[in-house]
Structure formats: C-alpha cells, structure tokens
Structure 1
C-alpha cells in the first residue's frame, strides 16, 4: 500500500468517495451435507470469525480496499459444519493529507464495507440451510492498532 494521496487535500472535494463495491470472492461449503443437518439438533458449533483487510493503490488517490471474512464453524470434535469465505471490495477516492491515508484505508473504508459483507454472510448461511449468521460489529480501530503494534514489533525485531 502506498500513500499516493495528494499532499494538500482539495477543500472543495469530500474526504472520502465510494466509487464502487463488489463481491471479489465468495465461497460457501457444507462438507458434511446432508447428514450434518440432522446432527445439528441440540448442538451449537463454535463459530470463529477471522478478519483481514488489504488495501492497494490503483491510481493517484484512488484505492481498492478488500475486507476478508472467514467463518469456519465446527463441532467440539473439530468436525466441520460449514465454511464461508468472503472477499468484499470497494474502490475509494481519498482527499486527505498523506498521514491520514492509512487510517482511512484500514479503518473508515472497511467500516463502510462491513454492513454489506455482513448481509452477504447472513444470506449465504441462511441459503445454506442454517440460521443466518449475524456477525457482531467489528472494532476496526482496534484492528488497526493491533496491526500497527505488530508491524512495530517486527521492525524492532529486525533492527
């Protein structure tokens, strides 16, 4: 990811413009179907949710941001219930000072994409024969801080 935003923001332009949103990749699997549906009776699987964000410069101050969500539901004995993976992307134009580009790309842009990605996951699980999975809101500020701390730790480890 490069900080290619203009040095001085244009006060006549909004700081963030959503140019488009799209499903970049979607996968839903029920490896144990159809038996898994009868085995579900009375059992609650563990449903960990993994989140990642990638951003890249497209041209000038336009960027692609992709929110990756992976849900791997399993019974206690590690038998899979379902697996859903979604890469939901957006194209954003930023009109902010260079020091604000990275936080905008890794906090604000995913925050705008999340409600749409959440709906896609809920629809996929419902259409797959399960109750719709309603992912709780994600703290993208904390995710950003954790990513920055990890990067600082790696930089100190290699210095």
Structure 2
C-alpha cells in the first residue's frame, strides 16, 4: 500500500495515469528463405574477395484486436570484388507475432516499425550466420541495424513522394 500512495502522490491523480504498455512476442518464424551458393554451382575458382550488399525492408499488419505481425525482409548478395561474379544470394523473410496492449494509436506505427524489429533482429542475425556458414562460407555476422534511422528515412521518402505527387 505504501508504494501506491508514494506513486499516486508523486504522479498526481492516480486515475489520470495511462495504463502501462504491454508487449509480448507470441511467436516468431521464417516465412520464406532462399539461399543460393552460386560460386559452387558455377565452379568458381581463383581469388575471392567478397563484397556484400544488404537491403532491409519492414512490413507490419494487424492479425487480431491486439495482435500484429511484423516482418523483416533481408536480402544479402555477395559478389567477388575483382570480377563482380556472384558468390551467394540469401533472401529471408523473418516474422514475429506480437501482442500489444495499452499503446496509443499515434504511437503504434513507430512501435511496430522500430521496437518490434529490434526484438526480432538478434534471432534473424543468428539464422543468417548459420545459413551462410552451413552454405560453405564464413558466417555473415550482420551489424546492428538502426531501426530508428530506417524509420525516419522511410518517413522522409514518403513525404518527398507525396510532395512530388502534389506538385
């Protein structure tokens, strides 16, 4: 009881406080994955200096009253630096189902596009590392992705597209 009194006194009227946001990962899964070891298929020989290009896309959709599915779509393409011949191609669509409660509507989109992918990323990183290693290459250890910057870039791109469409 003492904690409630202290919290209520510090926060003013206890009834005016917003309920605490609840987020739970219900499940996560690989929706789609493709790995192609182009170097082995084509009989690649000679010195290999891989250049890796990575593209990341995010997607979210509502599944129920409080459930949302968030997906990270990752494309990794490795080419040899000297002749630009492909070495391997990895495409993966990694998704998670989240139960989210007590989140204001205006905060839902950034939450789904920043916080949820941040929770999924360590698991996606492990899968990418394992697949590239099992495919016969050094494990590809993805660097941390700044989902806040990715979100801001997408907002800027959409704003620019809207202004170009109205001009």
User: Larger helix proportion, structure 1 or 2?
Assistant: 2
Give the total of aligned pairs. 147
CA distance in 2, matches of 1:86, 1:141: 21
Query: In structure 2, how many angstroms separate the alpha carbons of the residues matched to 1:151 and 1:44?
Result: 36
Partner of 1:7: none
| Structure 2 residue aligned with 1:6 | none
Matched, 1:44 2:49: yes
Partner of 2:50: helix, strand, or coil? coil
1:126 corresponds to which of 133, 146, 151: 133
Higher relative contact order (CA 8 A, sep 6+): 1
> Equivalent residue for 2:7?
none
- Which consecutive unaligned segments of at least 5 residues does structure 2 have? 1-17
Larger Rg: 2
Shift of 1:157: 1.5
Aligned-partner SS, 1:59: coil
Distance 1:126 1:66 in 2: 23
From 85, 110, 118, the equivalent of 1:79 is 85
Alignment RMSD (CA, Å): 1.7
Alignment pair present for 1:18 and 2:21: no
In structure 2, the residue matched to 1:4 is none
Decide which of 78, 89, 92 is 2:95's aligned counterpart.
89
> Structure 1 length as normaliser, TM-score?
0.86
The 3-state SS of whatever aligns with 1:104 is helix
TM-score, with length taken from structure 2: 0.82
Aligned to 1:138: 145
Q: Aligned pair 1:63/2:63, yes or no?
A: no
Distance 2:162 2:64 in 1: 28
Match of 1:109 in 2: 116
Q: Distance in 2 between matches of 1:102 and 1:55?
A: 9
- Displacement of 1:14: 4.3
Matched residue of 2:139: which SS?
coil
Aligned twin of 1:151:
158
